[in-house]
Amino acid sequence: MILLFELILQATFFQFMSINGYYPDLVLITLVIIGVFYDKEASWKYGFIIGVLRDILYGRVFGVYALGYTVTIIAVSWIGKNIFKESFASPLLLFPVGTVTINSLVYIIHYLLRMAVPVEEYIANFGLMYWMLNLGVLAIMYSLFRTLRQKGILLKM
């Protein structure tokens, strides 16, 4: 439910409340946090489901984000399985992996379908403000998620 709320929030409210055209990618941030805390067998379902919902609600081609988010969360979970999960460094190191993975897959699929924008324009979307904004929100969300998990409010899978 949280991921669905974030997806709707990103596609509606954040479009009008952006900072220089940038807004936090809450869905990707949450998927990275899930990938850090849970193994790939438990977490890939979240990526697939939210990807299908994004494809249905906002996608141009069905399956692009379902595949992208699924592969991204599997990669983050696989890399994150040997990282100390209670450290702030874990999500901060894995968020760039997630960002590059999802955006590379989406660009490649759109390129193969002849729907891609020039690569220079696509890369320009990921400037310094994008990274500062997303890493700041990631730090806040990760500390909240970790606190809720330590208090037993969130389930340990």
* Distance, CA of 40 to CA of 79 (rounded, Å): 10
The tokens for 34 are: 């899930």
The chain-wide mean pLDDT, for the chain, equals: 89
Task: Quick: pLDDT tens for 57-87.
Answer: 888 899 999 999 999 999 999 988 888 777 8
Q: What is the rounded end-to-end Cα distance, in angstroms, of the chain?
A: 17
pTM of the model: 0.90
Task: Quick: pLDDT tens for 1-20.
Answer: 889 999 999 888 887 888 88
Instruction: Locate the domains of the chain by residue range.
Output: 2-7+25-149
Q: What angle do CA 137, 9, 145 make, to 5 degrees?
A: 40
| pLDDT above 80: residue 100 | yes
% the chain with pLDDT above 70? 98
DSSP per-residue codes, 12-75: THHHHS-BTTB---HHHHHHHHHHHHS-HHHHHHHHHHHHHHHHHHH-SSTTHHHHHHHHHHHH
